[in-house]
Structure 1
Amino acid sequence: MSNSILYIITVIIWGSTWIAINYQLGEVAAEVSIVYRFGLAALVMFAYCRFKKLPLSFSAKQHLQLLAFGLTLFGCNYYLLYNAQTYINSALTSIAFSTLMIVNILNARLWFKTRIPSQVYLGAALGLVGIITLFWPQISNVEFADNTLLGLGLCFIGVLFASTGNMISIKNQHNNMPVLPATAWGMLYGCLFMLVVALVQGQEFNFSYTLPYISSLLYLSIFGSVIAFGCYLTLLARIGAHKASYTTIMFPAVAVVISSVVEGFTWDNYTFIGLGLMLAGNLVVLANPGILKRFSFSRLKTREV
């Protein structure tokens, strides 16, 4: 697939998973739901790799790297984010998680000495201001009590784990480890890690036989994990973590559109301004640098005249 298609698929799917996750919280413990999600996702991914005859064998050293990949991206990251949502609302969670782009920029520089164009910083700033504006009515009256600070702290730590997983994925691909087989093993290791966490905590492995829980689990496993991660992790190596991670800023835009249809969300000035800034930031980040330079040069000439 082209980078544009991969990007659009990632944004649309992950932008809709915020609603699906709400149906996973409640009767079944978050840790157990994560085990179900990535256990099913890993099973589907392995089956697809086997069907396509993709290589699934890796060396012991590579498995250690895949273990770290799975624990950071599919284990610790989701464990912290699911638990964060028990302390803060989805608006604050979205804003906190959108900082993944900033952390990825720093980590790409640290891990791979990636030179980050100035347009990426500008686009990131526009996007972050846009997402804060979008959710301003929901966060303007938030009191930063102990629970709120705890939720934000869990979210930010989850972002650090997610970014580390992103860097490991890029390293995997630099070492010629195919994306889908590596992701299958990573999901399996993440699932096993969460299984251990749930057992240590004494969580009950119950199941909710309701349509909302089962349908959201299937959606999160197949679309939110297998398809979206396959697209996103491919983008990481193709266009860089600093650009691919702008998808995390675009997720709320999709969530707002879906919420307008499903939950009757009413648009106001904050919605229009916030979405406008997020889209502008998206265009700046993904634009060809040559276009921006020509635009700046043409403006400079106009001023001189």
Structure 2
Amino acid sequence: MTAPGEHGWTPRAIGGFALITLVWGSTWLVIKDQVGSVPPSWSVVWRFMLACAGMFVLALVRGDSLRLGRAGQRLALVVGVLQFCLNFQFVYRAEQFLTSGIVAVLFALLMVPNALLARSFLGQAITRGFLVGSAIALSGIALLLLHEYRLAPPGAQVPLGVAFTIIGLMSASGANVLQAGREAHRHSPVALLAWAMLWGVLADLAVALLLYGPPQFEPRAGYLGGIAYLALMGSVLTFPIYARLLRDLGPGRAAYSSVIIPVVAMLLSTLFEGYEWSVLAAAGSVLVGAGLVVALRARRPAQ
């Protein structure tokens, strides 16, 4: 059996890396449109109901076995709650208080908890270069948040948006590391994700009913198109690719996609949300990118 992170940067890994970077870079802006008149919890439910159905169909088309066994179902349950419930419940709420580009930049630090958790639970090493790069990126994040504070109108809840993003980030990181472990390698990534999405959407449904009561929906074309895009392109297409990257590269290096995703998200935020750049914001963005590149270029980067 292949050890986690053993394959490295194969053509398949590079192609998958490029695809998820482009798609996930655009999803942040689409999510922003999903948190308008419909409570965020219900938007998450609709997204993953469709994505779950699509993932099971994909597994059947591929001929993957859907039998996971008890250990596999336990893994799918935990991954589902962390990735497809807690992560997205908090990310959608974060975008009520922060621009989509800022949330994407904060998520660029996913590689940090991924690497730390991989060290603790998978025994994967962390280099000095990775730590230095992460520190540089954190200083850039601080400048971006300072810029956000200065532009925020009176009464804006920027700290709450940051807190929601961090909780979502840590939930996603836990799910990432679990998907790179030994038990995950025993199952098809698509089958495991299909069951994880099912458990996740059941948890999402419980949260939505508890917090907001009966189902809420918006029959607007943009809302419906956003649900379809996030479910099919942002979930069914990309999550199996990312799951394979987690296995082939390890959680730390798979999260290097977060270096480029914020660039796409910030450009779209500038075009469609009127994000206002300043010297502070530009300097913060440069530091984030430079820090993550330093971490990436470490001679033996954390896997």
TM-score of the two chains, using structure 1 as the length reference: 0.83
Aligned partner of 1:22 among 32, 44, 50: 32
Determine if contact 2:82/2:174 at 8 Å carries over to the other structure.
yes
Structure 2 residue 232 is the aligned partner of structure 1 residue 206? no
**Secondary structure of the corresponding residue to residue 99 of structure 1:** helix
Measured after TM superposition, the shift of residue 249 of structure 1 is 4.2
In structure 2, distance between residues paired with 1:187 and 1:267: 37
Tell me what 1:298 maps to: none
Aligned partner of 1:48 among 58, 63, 66: 58
Structure 2 residue 184 is the aligned partner of structure 1 residue 192? no
Determine if contact 2:80/2:199 at 8 Å carries over to the other structure.
yes
* Range that drifts further, 3-12 or 132-141: 132-141
Determine if contact 1:19/1:255 at 8 Å carries over to the other structure.
yes
Tell me what 1:252 maps to: 262
Tell me what 1:219 maps to: 229
Judging changes above 3 Å, is the alpha-carbon distance between structure 1 residues 263 and 94 closer, same or farther for their aligned structure 2 residues?
A: closer
Tell me what 1:100 maps to: 110
Determine if contact 1:15/1:254 at 8 Å carries over to the other structure.
yes
Determine if contact 1:74/1:190 at 8 Å carries over to the other structure.
yes
Measured after TM superposition, the shift of residue 270 of structure 1 is 5.0
Structure 2 residue 181 is the aligned partner of structure 1 residue 166? no
Deviations 1:107-155 (A, max 9, x none): 1111112111222223333434445555653334559979443333332
Tell me what 1:124 maps to: 134
Deviations 1:245-265 (A, max 9, x none): 232343221112234444565
Deviations 1:194-235 (A, max 9, x none): 111112224331321212101111111111112222222221
In structure 2, distance between residues paired with 1:99 and 1:265: 21
In structure 1, distance between residues paired with 2:29 and 2:68: 36
Tell me what 1:302 maps to: none
Tell me what 1:63 maps to: 73
In structure 2, distance between residues paired with 1:133 and 1:252: 15
Tell me what 1:178 maps to: 188
In structure 1, distance between residues paired with 2:154 and 2:257: 27
- Give the structure with higher Rg (CA): 1
Judging changes above 3 Å, is the alpha-carbon distance between structure 1 residues 123 and 144 closer, same or farther for their aligned structure 2 residues?
A: farther
- Percent identity between the two aligned chains: 29
- In the alignment of these two chains, the number of paired residues is 291
In structure 2, distance between residues paired with 1:151 and 1:271: 18
**Secondary structure of the corresponding residue to residue 116 of structure 1:** coil
Q: Which structure 2 residue ranges, 5 or more long, are not aligned?
A: 1-10
In structure 2, distance between residues paired with 1:145 and 1:203: 28
**Secondary structure of the corresponding residue to residue 114 of structure 1:** coil
Structure 2 residue 264 is the aligned partner of structure 1 residue 240? no
Tell me what 1:151 maps to: 161
Determine if contact 1:45/1:180 at 8 Å carries over to the other structure.
yes
In structure 2, distance between residues paired with 1:268 and 1:202: 39
In structure 2, distance between residues paired with 1:234 and 1:51: 18
In structure 2, distance between residues paired with 1:77 and 1:264: 26
In structure 2, distance between residues paired with 1:64 and 1:97: 27
CA RMSD of aligned residues (A): 2.9
Aligned partner of 2:12 among 2, 8, 20: 2
In structure 1, distance between residues paired with 2:283 and 2:121: 35
Determine if contact 2:100/2:269 at 8 Å carries over to the other structure.
no
Letter in 2 for 1:258: L
Tell me what 2:42 maps to: 32
Determine if contact 2:80/2:196 at 8 Å carries over to the other structure.
yes
Matches within 5 A, 1:131-150: 131-133=141-143, 137-140=147-150, 147-150=157-160
Determine if contact 2:129/2:298 at 8 Å carries over to the other structure.
no
In structure 2, distance between residues paired with 1:91 and 1:263: 9
Measured after TM superposition, the shift of residue 20 of structure 1 is 0.1
Letter in 2 for 1:40: L
TM-score of the two chains, using structure 2 as the length reference: 0.83
Letter in 2 for 1:183: L
Tell me what 1:301 maps to: none
Letter in 1 for 2:74: L
Determine if contact 1:15/1:251 at 8 Å carries over to the other structure.
yes
Tell me what 1:300 maps to: none
